[in-house]
Structures are given as structure tokens and as C-alpha cells.
Amino acid sequence: MKRIAALLTVSLLAGCGWGGAEAATGPGGNGTIEYWLWDSAQQPGYQKCADEFAKQNPGLRVRISQYGWDVYWSKLTAGFIADTAPDVFTDHLAKFAQFVDLEVLRPLDDLGPTSDIADDDYQPGLAALWKGQDGKRYGSPKDWDTIAMFYNPQSLADAGIDPASLQNLSWNPVDGGTFEKTIARLTVDRNGVRGDAPGFDKNNVAQYGLGSDGAGGGGWGQTQWSAFTGSAGWQATDKNPWGTHFNMDQPAFQDTLRWYFGLAEKGYMPSFAEIGGNNPVGGDKQIQSGLAAVALSGSWMISTFSNLTDASGAKLNIGVAPTPIGPTGKRASMFNGLADSITTLSRQPDSAAKWVKYLSGAECQNIIGESGVVFPARPEGTEKAIAFNRDDRKLDVSPFTDQVLDKTTFLFPVTSNAADITALMVPRLDAVYIGEAPVESLTALNDQLNALFEVAQ
């Protein structure tokens, strides 16, 4: 309990607040399985799954609670201390390793309904991420995600840029390549001068070529710089999962971040202050408001971007393009995914395991795929999501899915000490973005991260 309390303290220091949330509910009882998730867009689909599950399992029902991201993790961690955690919750790779270390997750292998979950049922490599160092499975895959570029076609038309050109952009840390040239062209100052034209005023920008999702310290730059560091051939740790040595002192990483944050210095990307600092306005809002023409974001945001409206309330046209090709000659995207985990506090672990088994099964995954909100972990569910976007939204989502087909993905770093790592990384990356510290200062951060594991040994 002391270790869990320490984790809660670190989580709060890392920026997670209560946000005035109501008191957490306790683990389910009398056949009611408490299930928590954070994404409101996914809740309707999972409610359909819960209704079907109840029909097939008389005497059992699922009660779903949804909380915003920051509140979600604070409430969950507090729930482990106060014995008010749910039976089952949506887990994230950035969090799960530390929960395994704290022994607050039940091994799914030890519960009958989930003992036969097979890696081959899901997208390659996805299920293996949810195994601890002991080889046991602590999460059942539910979905996966990659990164791509959302853009406003009207902004491209105004700049005289053919959307087809976005399919083959390239970048490098020296001059930014065709990617930076495109971003510069899409940038417009308040006098109507574009970023690639004489007289451009970088201090008075009306529309930035590239939106920003913050400094990236809280998630290894997933929606910020990870596509660039990945396509430069860099990886965060010596091995993944369960790496113990960090590589933030390597030139491939520091040169890439020097170029990336330099886009803000040139006026092609908003400053740290302009996006709201530690709680940035997302790329979707930046494109909707006209602050940005292009934004890197994850496939879990497809539904959000697709539903954007302009100032008159009319649906805003949105396009999707792949991440640019890097110095390695390939494009890259972080490959992440969510899973469902069962807490050690559940008073009905077998019933909870039945629900987790259903969540990861074909029936529920197909229901989620048909909603088009995310790409389910099972290939069949993924195909249904692709079809929904193509037929209902008239949106080509291949920039997300091609990364998997072309094997240009790399895995989200999974390590122990995750909360401590986040607490160290967030302020240091913020300082680089703000301009208060040079990129070279990340070498000292790298030493701090490595020291976490030296102490543990």
C-alpha cells in the first residue's frame, strides 16, 4: 500500500488532477461488473457489447463508468489504495508496467475464461506487449493505433498545394526536406505573407503549417515527434518491452528534436504558450479554428476530426496523409494499443474474466469496428472499421493501416518505473519546447532515467 501511495503522489506531481470528480465507485458485487474507460467516443460501442454480454450471461451485468483522461488515472490509483477500484478497466501501455510491478493486476492466465487468450488472434505483436516479465498476461488486447497527418484541404488549396504531394513528403534534420517546405508554405502571418516568402513575420502568425500537441514528455512524443525520431532510426530503450537503458543522449534523437522544436522558433509551429502549455488545445481544435493547417494525431482521433464543423456549423472537410519519410528512407509510426485488465481488488474475478474474454472476442470487436471509432485488435474488426470510414465517412484511413501492412511501426516503450519516468520527462521536454533549455540538456535527463534502474538493481 505504501508503494501504491507513492505512485499516486508521483502521478499527481506528473500533472494528473482530480478535476472535481465524484467519489469512485467500488468493485462490483452481486453480479454487477464495474468497468471503467476514459474515451467517451467509445462508450456507446462498449455499451452495446455490455448489453449483448448480459443477454448471454444471465445474472451478470456490466456497469460502465467513463472519466476524462487525467481524472481517470487519479481515480484509479486512488481506488487501489481505498479498495474502490473497478473489477475491469481499460489499460494503457504507459501505465500497465508499473501496475504489474505493484501487483494490483490479476494474471489473466490464472482465470479460466481468459486462460486461453492466444497471441495469434490479434494484430501481430500486439498481445505480447501485455505480458509481464514473468511471462504472464495482464491485459487482453482491445484495439491498436498508429499516427498520421490530418489536414484541411482548403488550406492546401489556398497555398496551391496538391494534396497528393503529401503522400510522399520527406524530412531530414538539416533542412527539413519537402516536409518543412510544405509546412512553411502553409504558414501565413497576419499580413497574409506565407512562411516561404520574403517579409514573413514569425512573431505574428495567423495560421501555422503544423499544429502542436505539446512537448511529448508524457507519452514518448507519440503525437508530437515520435514519427520523426522513429524514421530517423532511433529507439527509446535498449530493448522493448522491459528496457532498462535509455537512448536520449544519441545524436539521432537530439538532432531530430532540435529540428522539430526549431519549427516553432521559425514560426511554422505554435509556441508552447500558444497551445496552452501543459494542457494543450488538441490538433483537432487547432485545425477547426484555423490556427493550423496540418496536425499529427492518432487513429483514435479519426471520429473526432471527422465530426469537426466550421464557424457556420457546416461539416469541415478533412483529409489524412501518412507521416513523412525520414533519413532511413522509410516512414514510421509508433504502434500502441489498449487492453482490458482485471484488478486484484475484484470480488468476482471469474465473472470479470468472462467480461474481458467477451471484450477481446470477435463479437464485441466487430461491434466496435462497425462504430468506426478505433481499430479493434482483431483483424476482422479492423476491416470493419476501415469499411465504416470508407463507406460512411468517405474517408481513406489507409495512412494509418498501411503502417502496419508495410511494417513501418515501432512499439510504444514499455518499462518499469513508468510514473517516475513521466515525472522526470514532462518538465524537461517542456523546457526544451519553451526554449528555456537546450536539446543537449536531455543527456542529463537520460542519465536520470538510467539511474532509476541502477537503484532498482
Low-confidence winner among 228-232, 265-269, 311-315 (lowest mean pLDDT) = 311-315
What confidence category does residue 455 fall into, taking pLDDT thresholds of 50, 70 and 90?
A: low
Quick check: 18 pLDDT over 60? no
320 with 235, same domain: the answer is: yes
Of all residues in the chain, what percent carry a pLDDT higher than 90? Answer: 86
Quick check: 10 pLDDT over 50? no
CATH at 364: 3.40.190.10
In a domain, 401, yes or no: no
| pLDDT on residue 279 | 80
329 with 425, same domain: the answer is: yes
* Nearest one of 156, 155, 146, 103 to 125, comparing CA atoms: 146
Name the strand (E) or helix (H) holding 262.
helix 251-265
193 with 316, same domain: the answer is: yes
| pLDDT on residue 128 | 87
328 with 354, same domain: the answer is: no
* Global pTM value: 0.91
pLDDT digits (tens, 9 = 90+) for 350-373: 999 999 999 999 999 999 999 999
Domain boundary pick from 395, 424, 442: 395
- State which residues form the domain around 32: 2-143+338-395
| pLDDT on residue 28 | 46
| pLDDT on residue 110 | 96
In a domain, 177, yes or no: yes
In a domain, 92, yes or no: yes
- Any long-range contacts for 431-440 (C-beta under 8 Å, 24+ apart)? 432/215, 432/257, 432/261, 433/214, 433/215, 433/261, 433/264, 433/272, 434/271, 434/272, 434/273, 435/265, 439/254, 439/257, 439/258, 439/261, 440/254
Quick check: 19 pLDDT over 70? no
Separation between Cα atoms, residue 288 and residue 155, nearest integer Å: 11
Residue 1 or 133, more confident: 133
373 with 273, same domain: the answer is: no
Residue 92 or 278, more confident: 92
Average pLDDT over every residue of 432-447:
98
What confidence category does residue 111 fall into, taking pLDDT thresholds of 50, 70 and 90?
A: very high
What confidence category does residue 29 fall into, taking pLDDT thresholds of 50, 70 and 90?
A: low
Torsion sign, CA atoms 122, 69, 242, 336: positive
In a domain, 350, yes or no: yes
pLDDT digits (tens, 9 = 90+) for 384-413: 999 999 999 999 999 999 999 999 999 999
